[in-house]
Structures are given as C-alpha cells and as structure tokens.
Amino acid sequence: MKKMSIKEVASALQISTATVSYILNGKAKEKRISPELTKKVTAFIEENNFRPNHLAKSLRTGKTNVIGLIVEDIADPFFASVAGHIENVAYENGYKIIYSSTKNDPKKAKELIDTFRDRNVDGYIITPTEGIDSEIKYLIDSKLPVVLFDRNCNDLDVSYVGMNNFESSYQAAKYLISQDYKNIAFVTLDSVQPQMIDRLLGYERAIYENRLVSYVKKVEYRAAKEHLIMAEIEHLLNTEPHIDAIFFATNYLAITGIELLNRLGVKIGEELGMMVFDDNDLFRIHQPSISAIAQPIQEMSQQLINDLLEHMQDTNEYTNRTTVLPAHLIIRDSSSKTRKNA
C-alpha cells in the first residue's frame, strides 16, 4: 500500500492540512478540534498507511528525537555492549539510536558525520578515528551536542567519557612483573590515538621503574589484518626468544595472537604469560583462561547517555566535562607464573 501524505489525508477527509498536522502533533485540544474529528483522522491514517515526514517534522519542532552513535565497530563486543546500554536509557527518555561503524577509516567517519548532520540528529556520541578533529569541531561550533568516548580529542573543548588507560596498563604490567616475568613484550597498534599512547606509556613506566628491558611491537594501524598481526608476533618471538610474557594492547590483537600461539604449540600460562587490555568472553572460557583489563562498560555507558541527554536538554547552559573511570584487572591463569612454580 502506498504511503499517504498530509495533503492527501486532508483532501480525502475534506479538512485543512493544518488540522491534520495539529492532530498528528498532539495539539487537537489546544486548537479546539473536536474529539470526534480527532478520532476520525486518527482512524483514517492508521487504516491508510500514513507515515509523517520526519524531516519536515524536525524542521517544525527543531528535534528528531534521534541520537547518532558512531563507533569503530558495532560488531565488537565492547562497542556492542556500550550501544546496548545507551539504547535502553535513550529509549526510556524518548530517543532512538542510529548506529554506524567507522572501521577506523577517517573518510568513512567524516561521511557518517555528514550523513547524521543531514538527518538532523539531536546529538552525537562518537568514538573518533584519527584525522576527524575538524569535523567534530564543526559540530561543536554549530552548537550541536557531542560526547566522545573511548578516545578523546585533546585539542577540543568537548565532553568525553573514557577510562584511565595509563594507570590500567601500568598496574597490569606491574602485576606481570610481580609474577616474576622478566622479559615482557607489548604488542600494540602503530597509532597516535591518545588511548593507545597511554597504554604504551603505562607499560613503559612499569618496565622502567623495575629496570627491565622493554620490547614493543607496533602493528600497522590501518592494516591490522590477521595474517599481518600473526607475522609481526611470530617475528617478535623469533628475534626475541627470551620473551616470557606478552601484554596485548587490544583484545583483537590478543585473539589473533592466541590463534598463532596455539598453531605454534606455545603453552600459554606455562611457556608464555599473557595479559590483554579489554576483556572478552573468549578470555574467560579459553583454556587456560586469559588475564585481562575489563573496561567499566555499564558505568561508561550510563555516563555517556546522561551527559548527552543533559547537553541536549540545555545546550546553552551545559558545561563540557571529562569523566575518566577506573578499569578492573581480572587475574586468570595466563599470568600467574609464581603460583604455577610454587
């Protein structure tokens, strides 16, 4: 059945388009439209597949009741969990969410921001890729509510919700050292994103304080495919055979690393210790289980949506804020060398 327009509804019922519009926008009583006519119009539009033009409505009201959520990969368990929490709270407050993934591609990220802006979304929650600061600044300058998460843009005055990447990485590396690991490698991305830099600095601080040697392997950021990650890790192990533990800066680097180590017959937790930044269900059920830094997903999600809703409700009075939450170090079998040797 073909969708009808307001004009077609008005013509069919022989009333004005203004009357139809008032009824659709809940202003029938205010405009003294009779309950009988209101009921007649409502029944007619339900029977005839009428759908309001949301763009036209947004131009009248200035709101679409839609929030744009742009993340690295909505299929990733971390981002999917955050999105789920945000969606629930947003829905309770009368908003719907549009999701999109950048896949760490700045060009795609810019196109998504343009698309959301064209759709007049009311607010933005963004995990920024490298190179899109100017697009985010344009949103801010346009007085549009924006909250960043997971990765910040340090040069912009914008709200941000994330976790303490430096301290979390530092404490995880210190734990490995406390378990008598002496040659700990750090496998990370070759990226200038602040959260990746902080994770590396946390590892290096712990290594420096304990007078150990750092072994850092950086994987090309935009070419982080499985076979390339495997090749980089295998090269690291071949050139530095004395490495006794690996600290992975992301869970997808670790998952590929685990696959390689299993293929090579390396016994995780016995021959090689392991720690991962960002927990994953796989690490809990893997044998042996894998120690990981768990991000505070529920607290982060709640703070994100609360900040954005507050910003959308009062853009003029809202003050940008930075919220940094602590992570949780989950100790499992892959990193307890001293206990195994006891």
Find the mean pLDDT for residues 303-321: 89
For residue 165, the model assigns a pLDDT of 96
Paired residues of 293 in beta bridges: 277, 329
- What proportion of the chain, given as a percentage, has pLDDT over 90? 70
pLDDT(287) > 90: yes
pTM higher than 0.85, yes or no?
no
Q: Work out the pLDDT band at 226, boundaries 50, 70, 90.
A: confident
For residue 1, the model assigns a pLDDT of 47
* Residue 180 C-alpha from the chain's centroid: 35
Q: Work out the pLDDT band at 123, boundaries 50, 70, 90.
A: very high
How confident is the prediction for the chain on average, in pLDDT?
Answer: 89
In tens, the pLDDT along 41-87 reads 888 887 886 766 654 555 455 678 899 999 999 998 889 999 999 99
83-93 as b/e, with b when 16 or more CB fall inside 10 Å?
bebbbebbeee
Q: Could you give the C-alpha distances from 265 to 44, 155, 260, 285, 292, in angstroms and in order? A: 69, 46, 9, 19, 22
For residue 317, the model assigns a pLDDT of 80
DSSP codes of every residue in 122-191: SEEEE-PPTT-HHHHHHHHHTT--EEEESS--TTS--EEEEE-HHHHHHHHHHHHHHTT--SEEEEEEE-
Number of helical H runs and strand E runs in the chain = 14, 12
Find the mean pLDDT for residues 194-219: 96
How far is 55 from 47, CA to CA, in rounded Å? 23
Cα–Cα nearest to 340, from 278, 280, 291: 291
pLDDT(341) > 60: no
In tens, the pLDDT along 140-175 reads 998 999 999 999 998 999 999 999 999 999 999 999
